[in-house]
Structure 1
Amino acid sequence: MTRDILAWRSRDASKAPPLLKYRSSYSFILGTVSIAVFTDIFLYGIIVPVIPFALTTRVGVAEADVQHWVSVLIAVYGAALLGASPICGYVADHTSSRRLPLLIGLLALLGSTLLLCLGTTLALLIIGRLLQGFSAAVVWTVGLALLADTVDHEMIGQAMGYVSMSMSVAVLVAPLLGGVVYARAGYYSVFFMAFGLIVLDIILRVVLVEKKIAKQWVPAEPETSPPSPSKTLSEKATGPQTTMDQPEHTPSTASAPESSAPPLTIFPTKRQLPPVFTLLGSRRLLAALFCSLIQSTLLTAWDAVLPLYVHRLFGWGSTGGGLIFLPLILPSFVAPLIGYWSDKRGPRVPTTLGFLLAVPFLVAMRAVNHGGIDQIVLLCALLSCLGVALSMAMTPLLAEITYIINVKEKSHPGVFGRRGAYATAYGLFNTAFAGGMLVGPIWGGFVTQGSGWKTMGWTLAVLALVGAGVAALLIGGWVGRKSAMEVEAVDGGSDGRKEEGEV
């Protein structure tokens, strides 16, 4: 009986899942990750124009304290994202599947949405935002690592451009729909949209089949579909590991013990270091993380300020508070083109230009200081230009994480172990981005409340200038290196040895 059951299970396991080719395809995985990011950001942003009014009508917060609690609720999300991201990255790089952590993150997102929908106290709203931040940590860390596993390295910038665009669409649509639906249909209707999107996300994440899982049934394809980085890493590491960790099998057997002794005492200890220490030892990665923190701060500082500012200045309600984000996000649709530029020429120039372009527009925000149509037009124009600048900075930074991993792997095969370090690296990126999401609302909200709108604008401009300086010097490698090396670092270079100094 037992033999029959085992035989049946063996036959069942050998049968490929239905529609495997499509469920494990690059397009489907890219679409699933993009929708996961869209869902996460949509549920983050849908309450941005709603929560100032919900705090007074549902929770009973005094009008004078609304700005404070709006900033706190937005910052709590960033704090949860900050704390959970490195943990999620470590766990994802030590599990056999990316899909399971993604499903766990989705359950957390469902729980957070229920709390935000039904909660009538500050404590429940804060817990809901904490769960939402944890879910975002899973999506951004594991989802981007899954994408890096799937996408051909020469196309990673374009792929991250599509992810960035889906994020931008969510940031655009969420406040808009949140404000309009709240004004027309009430508080609960806002969350009905959220639950529908979660159902779609659940279906996609359950259906998805990872490339490395699909290879059990599908023979290795020629390079038309992207290789798994973990497999690539394993292939790169196999040669050096057998010669470094074991006696060499050469025609001269007498010389084998002598030639194998030194590597036994040197190389294994290097490879056994946790990937996070190797990554944090890279000044290029640290620069990318710092620039990500700055970009996130510049982006999220407006979440706590814009809805209330346009309410005071123009008398707009929740609908206007959502619509005002439209000009800030629309320019982000060029993100795939920026990613293509980054793939071809390196991330330094677009990132630096993005931060530099943001400076004059942030300073010019001081001119928006009274009501009137001309002021509305000016504010929308400045936000549009700022959106272009921030998109130019964001997309290359997403791709830069993968560029750095690829260079490290090429120069030292096996340095990150058998499973690689994409999730760990994107966990660090997420931590930096979350730091900006924590700092941004506090910076925007409290500086505006304490020193005014004009002060917030020029202080953010100074921060953007700092980001431009760091990007010009270190993004894509140290600026003192030959420019050809930057291009080599993007596509892996010829032998991978030269680039290590700039990583």
Structure 2
Amino acid sequence: MIARIFDRSQAPWGLKYRTSNWFIVLTVSCAVFTDIFLYGVIVPVIPFALQERANVGEDRVQYWVSVLLAVYGVGLVVFSPICGWFSDRISARRWPLLLGLIALLGATVMLNVATSIPVFIVGRLLQGISAAVVWVVGLALLADTVPRKSLGQYIGYVSLGMTLGFMLGPLLGGVLFKKAGYNGVWALCYAFIGLDFVFRIVLIEKKDAKKWDIAAAGGSDSHGDGQTERSPEAEAEEEIYDQPAVQTDPSQTQTRLQKLTSRLPPVITLLASRRLLAALFASITQASLIASFDSVLPLFVNETFGWESLQSGILYLTIVIPTLASPLVGYFSDRYGGRLFSFAGFLLACPIFVLLRLVDHNSLSQKVLLVALLVLIGCALTLCFPPIMAEITHVVIAKEESSRKSTGRVTTLAKGGAYAQAYALFNVAFALGTLVGPLWGGLIKQRYGWNTMSWTLGLLSGVTAVPCLIWVDGSLRRTDRGVFSRRYQS
């Protein structure tokens, strides 16, 4: 019995389910949710915790709230490229995910026991490092796993996990802080970390499962027990993407510039894509718009309506509810392209942010107006996120397809693929947004007021709609046969 447990030739229990697309998507979504939940759970709590636990004066609370939110972004910016390079070099995803969870646990313990500003800062920095692992490695694992033609739909579930974490964190944080106190907030965090650990430890990557598939089939590739079945979408995708390239003489087709760029690090090659730059700019904007609320909304409703942490936490539900449509948005962006969805989302958000300036005094009608505007903002931003995240993978595929056509052979940008490094760039962009958003919202509100903050955020959203229209899914100037083929033109 003991020999069988340690026999590596025997397929693990539940191999088919542990390597399935849905379980991997569920694991990544849970990891993203847990990370973002712990980022947001102290949003309505931190103003009061700083005063009660760190003895911060009331006139300095807004400043330190913005700084602590921004420190998280610093950790993301610094460690995302490192995680991307390392993950693509070892082409392994599961173990870095587990190491990231250890960092998240350490951050949670520090924030739980913190009684001074330096400890709060170090805890938030560790949260940013953990987030770098989750976003880079988790999204690369997703890109490795699911059919590319359905990537937007699957990413919709991940974005649902992200936005639920963003909004349920402040909601439950406010409720628990009011009902169970400071330690009650962190008890729920430990529970989510435990659940996340179960998913990450049970996960088996598809490439790791192949050795048991081959062993079960006697060394062949025939269908054996525990083999992961390939979906019709994956078959159709391979028919398009993996058909043999026309063999040409590389000396005739590969220019000196192409030879030079082929030797460059994958990150540099990816940054040469205007499509990727447009997607990264959109990621910065979306993160900024979401994170700006974290530094201003709890204090604004406290000043205007007299609401405390419980009411301000519940208010975040208005932005959460529209995100339930993220998988549906991803499905339609897979089918019809992400250009119009991302363009419409940022364009619609522009006037809605500007209209936030109308909320300026305490009355029932003003409270209803604020709730309605936040719901509409949630709807607009839900249109943007799935197609923008999927665009990161489409750019990598386009770059590799371009290299394939020019050299006559299938190549990848890195040893294990370049998905992790591409999502490291996305992570840096999103981190910059979480860094810029709280500072933008908090400092502009503090110096120039709520009205100025609202119209500047609306202007940022409107400007971002332009590159989304021009470059998402490939340049508008290109005329290709269909959405799928157009996406893979660099």
- Please, which of 443, 447, 457 is the counterpart of residue 454 of structure 2? 457
1:120 matched to which residue of 2?
Answer: 115
Residue 321 of structure 2 is aligned to residue 321 of structure 1? no
How far apart, CA to CA, are the structure 2 residues paired with 1:161 and 1:264? 38
2:371 matched to which residue of 1?
Answer: 380
2:280 matched to which residue of 1?
Answer: 289
Verify the 8 A CA contact 1:105 1:136 in the aligned structure 2: yes
Verify the 8 A CA contact 1:172 1:330 in the aligned structure 2: no
State the identity as a percent: 48
How far apart, CA to CA, are the structure 1 residues paired with 2:255 and 2:17? 47
Residue 354 of structure 2 is aligned to residue 360 of structure 1? no
Residue 485 of structure 2 is aligned to residue 488 of structure 1? yes
Structure 1: stretches of 5+ with no match in the other structure = 1-7, 245-258, 493-498
How far apart, CA to CA, are the structure 1 residues paired with 2:252 and 2:149? 36
1:467 matched to which residue of 2?
Answer: 464
- Please, which of 423, 426, 431 is the counterpart of residue 434 of structure 1? 431
Partner amino acid, structure 2, of 1:479: L
TM-score (norm 1): 0.88
Partner amino acid, structure 2, of 1:331: P
- Please, which of 168, 173, 184 is the counterpart of residue 173 of structure 1? 168
2:331 matched to which residue of 1?
Answer: 340
Q: How many residues align?
A: 466
Q: 1:443 to 1:270 in 2, by over 3 A?
A: closer
Verify the 8 A CA contact 1:347 1:396 in the aligned structure 2: yes
How far apart, CA to CA, are the structure 2 residues paired with 1:381 and 1:456? 18
2:47 matched to which residue of 1?
Answer: 52
2:445 matched to which residue of 1?
Answer: 448
1:423 matched to which residue of 2?
Answer: 420
Larger Rg: 1
How far apart, CA to CA, are the structure 1 residues paired with 2:78 and 2:250? 43
Verify the 8 A CA contact 1:56 1:63 in the aligned structure 2: yes
1:69 matched to which residue of 2?
Answer: 64
Q: 1:96 to 1:285 in 2, by over 3 A?
A: closer
**Deviation (angstroms), 1:391:** 1.1
| Alpha-carbon displacement from aligned partner over 1:234-287 (angstroms, at most 9, x marks no partner) | x969989xx89xxxxxxxxxxxxxx79889997876544321111011111111
- Please, which of 203, 215, 218 is the counterpart of residue 210 of structure 2? 215
For residue 304 of structure 1, give the secondary structure of its aligned residue in structure 2: helix
2:473 matched to which residue of 1?
Answer: 476
How far apart, CA to CA, are the structure 1 residues paired with 2:229 and 2:113? 52
Partner amino acid, structure 1, of 2:384: A
1:187 matched to which residue of 2?
Answer: 182
How far apart, CA to CA, are the structure 2 residues paired with 1:117 and 1:357? 39
Verify the 8 A CA contact 1:113 1:191 in the aligned structure 2: yes
Verify the 8 A CA contact 1:271 1:414 in the aligned structure 2: no
1:330 matched to which residue of 2?
Answer: 321
2:155 matched to which residue of 1?
Answer: 160
Partner amino acid, structure 2, of 1:289: L
| Alpha-carbon displacement from aligned partner over 1:328-365 (angstroms, at most 9, x marks no partner) | 22111111111111101111100000011001111110
How far apart, CA to CA, are the structure 2 residues paired with 1:62 and 1:110? 29
2:231 matched to which residue of 1?
Answer: 224
Verify the 8 A CA contact 1:271 1:415 in the aligned structure 2: no
Structure 2: stretches of 5+ with no match in the other structure = 215-220, 222-227, 404-409
| Alpha-carbon displacement from aligned partner over 1:408-430 (angstroms, at most 9, x marks no partner) | 22232314134111101000001
Q: 1:192 to 1:293 in 2, by over 3 A?
A: same
2:32 matched to which residue of 1?
Answer: 37
The root-mean-square deviation of aligned C-alpha atoms, in Å, is 2.5
Residue 138 of structure 2 is aligned to residue 143 of structure 1? yes
Partner amino acid, structure 2, of 1:323: I
